[in-house]
């Protein structure tokens, strides 16, 4: 998580520099055709474009809303995992003891059991973390797009890219368990299954009292629920049909904008020319310069169009 108040603006510009260039080119095309090649009929009326713009703003804002909600829900789930892990630690510490055993264990044995349960929980956390870092088809673009690769390279070091899951969890569980866990599909689920089996054994040995065993099993059910929720967020992206159409609508709007904006600037150029012809008491040089500007006023639409298209594009892109 980036933690400054806002990203430095230079960074944002650098990150989107390829698109900025593209938008300048897109804005340049109609002006070139109009003013240099003389295609005076090249116009799109602004008003219907405005309604389209409002509709696009609606759906983009709706998408950003949905994507913020997903982010917030993901954060809640992770917070829930933190809370449940703390509670698990308390339970392990206070519920395992010699109170109901036939044959008392030494303090060291008890400590070893507690350590084992906590370590296996860390292994579960690790497995879940790796699972969340796996790539999905709809995330491809996040990694493969050049701008992102550069950005990540310069800023982050994702530890999941450096060490693999096998190495990361090996130290937390026994050799036998390690083999059992890696043999089948979902490692995190396997680990919770082992925890459950182990709790059962401990209860049979009298190290956990009957009701407290049920409490701890309930905590495992809670872990399953949290894991399932994480997987749901991970595996169910913003519905693709919505995403595709949003993407199309924004690009349709972006492609039309320069033509609509050029028209507005062109009318302005006309008006300024009219103004200038009336106020002829101005100094000659000034007047000539201004007239030249007015005649080619339409060129000012290039940066303006690029700015507007950039805003709409970026608005759509952050929600992804």
Tell me how far apart the alpha carbons of residues 75 and 92 are, in angstroms, rounded to a whole number. 26
Q: By CB under 8 A, is residue 48 in contact with a copy of itself?
A: yes
CA triple 280-284-288, angle to 5 deg: 90
Angle at 118 between CA 114 and CA 123, to 5 degrees: 145
Among 52, 110, 118, 122, binds a copy of itself (CB under 8 A): 52
Residue 54 touching a copy of itself (CB under 8 A): yes
Distance CA 283, CA 273 (A): 16
For residue 62 the two structure tokens come to: 């709706």
Cα 189 to Cα 214: distance, rounded to the nearest angstrom: 19
- Interacting residues with a copy of itself between 150 and 169 (CB under 8 A): none
**Which DSSP state fits 96?**
B
Quote the least distance from Cβ 3 to a copy of itself, whole Å.
4
Contact region with a copy of itself (CB under 8 A), list: 21-29, 105-113, 159-167, 256-264: 256-264
Distance separating alpha carbons of residues 126 and 119, to the nearest angstrom: 10
Binding segment for a copy of itself (CB under 8 A), chosen from 105-113, 114-122, 159-167, 191-199, is: 191-199
- Least distance in angstroms from the C-beta of 104 to a copy of itself: 15
Output phi, psi for 163, to 5 deg.
Answer: -110, 145
Residues numbered 202 to 241 that lie near a copy of itself (CB under 8 A) are 204, 210-212, 214-215, 217, 220-221, 224-225, 227-229, 231-232, 236, 239-241
Min. distance of Cβ 167 from a copy of itself in angstroms? Answer: 27
Residues 264-279, buried b or exposed e (16+ Cβ, 10 A)?
A: ebbeebeebeeebeee
CB of residue 109 to a copy of itself, shortest distance in Å: 19
Count Cα atoms within 13 angstroms, Cβ side, for 138.
11
- 145 near a copy of itself (CB under 8 A): no
- Say how far residue 78 (Cα) sits from the centre of its chain: 15
Q: Could you give the dihedral angle defined by the CA atoms of residues 136, 140, 143 and 148, in that order, rounded to the nearest 10 degrees?
A: -130
The first and second tokens of residue 163, run together, are: 């060490």
User: Which residue in the set 76, 100, 143, 184 belongs to the binding site for a copy of itself (CB under 8 A)?
Assistant: 76
By CB under 8 A, tell whether 149 contacts a copy of itself: no
| CA 59/CA 243 separation, integer angstroms | 10
55 lies in the site for a copy of itself, by CB under 8 A: yes
Interacting positions 28-47 with a copy of itself (CB under 8 A):
38-41, 43-47
Site residues for a copy of itself, 109-138, by CB under 8 A, read 136-138
Rounded to a whole number of angstroms, the minimum distance from the CB of residue 232 to a copy of itself is 4
Q: Which 4-33 positions form the footprint of a copy of itself (CB under 8 A)?
A: 4-7, 9, 12
Token output for 200 = 């059962």
Please give the size of the binding site for a copy of itself, defined by CB under 8 A: 116
What's the min distance (Å) between Cβ of 312 and a copy of itself? 7
User: Helix (H, G, I), strand (E, B), or coil: what is residue 258?
Assistant: helix
Q: What secondary structure letter does DSSP report for 206?
A: T
- Asked whether position 185 contacts a copy of itself by CB under 8 A, the answer is no
Residues 282-311 touching a copy of itself, rule: CB under 8 A, are 282, 286, 290, 293-294, 297, 304, 307-308, 311
- Chosen residue from 261, 298, 302, 306 binding a copy of itself by CB under 8 A: 261
């Amino acid at each position: 998580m980036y933690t400054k108040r806002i990203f430095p603006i230079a960074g944002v510009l650098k990150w989107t520099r390829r698109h900025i260039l593209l938008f300048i080119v897109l804005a340049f095309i109609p002006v070139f055709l109009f003013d240099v090649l003389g295609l005076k009929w090249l116009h799109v009326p602004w008003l219907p474009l405005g309604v389209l713009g409002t509709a696009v703003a609606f759906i983009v804002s709706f998408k950003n809303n949905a994507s913020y909600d997903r982010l917030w829900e993901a954060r809640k789930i992770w917070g829930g995992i933190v809370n449940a892990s703390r509670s698990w630690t308390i339970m392990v510490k206070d519920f395992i003891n010699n109170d109901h055993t036939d044959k008392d264990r030494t303090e060291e044995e008890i400590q070893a059991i507690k350590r084992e349960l906590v370590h296996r929980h860390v292994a579960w956390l690790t497995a879940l973390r790796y699972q969340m870092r796996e790539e999905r088809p709809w995330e491809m673009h996040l990694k493969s797009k050049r701008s992102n690769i550069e950005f990540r390279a310069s800023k982050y070091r994702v530890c999941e890219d450096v060490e693999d899951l096998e190495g990361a969890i090996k130290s937390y569980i026994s050799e036998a368990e390690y083999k059992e866990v890696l043999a089948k599909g979902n490692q995190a689920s396997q680990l919770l299954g082992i925890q459950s089996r182990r709790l059962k054994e401990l209860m049979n040995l009298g190290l956990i009292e009957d009701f407290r065993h049920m409490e701890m099993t309930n905590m495992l059910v809670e872990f399953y629920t949290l894991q399932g929720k994480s997987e749901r967020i991970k595996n169910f992206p913003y519905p693709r049909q919505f995403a595709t159409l949003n993407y199309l609508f924004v690009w349709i709007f972006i492609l039309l904008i320069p033509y609509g904006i050029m028209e507005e600037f062109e009318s302005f150029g006309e008006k300024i020319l009219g103004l200038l012809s009336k106020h002829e008491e101005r100094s000659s040089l000034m007047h000539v310069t201004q007239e030249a500007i007015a005649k080619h006023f339409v060129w000012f639409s290039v940066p303006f169009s690029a700015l507007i298209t950039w805003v709409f594009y970026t608005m759509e892109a952050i929600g992804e």
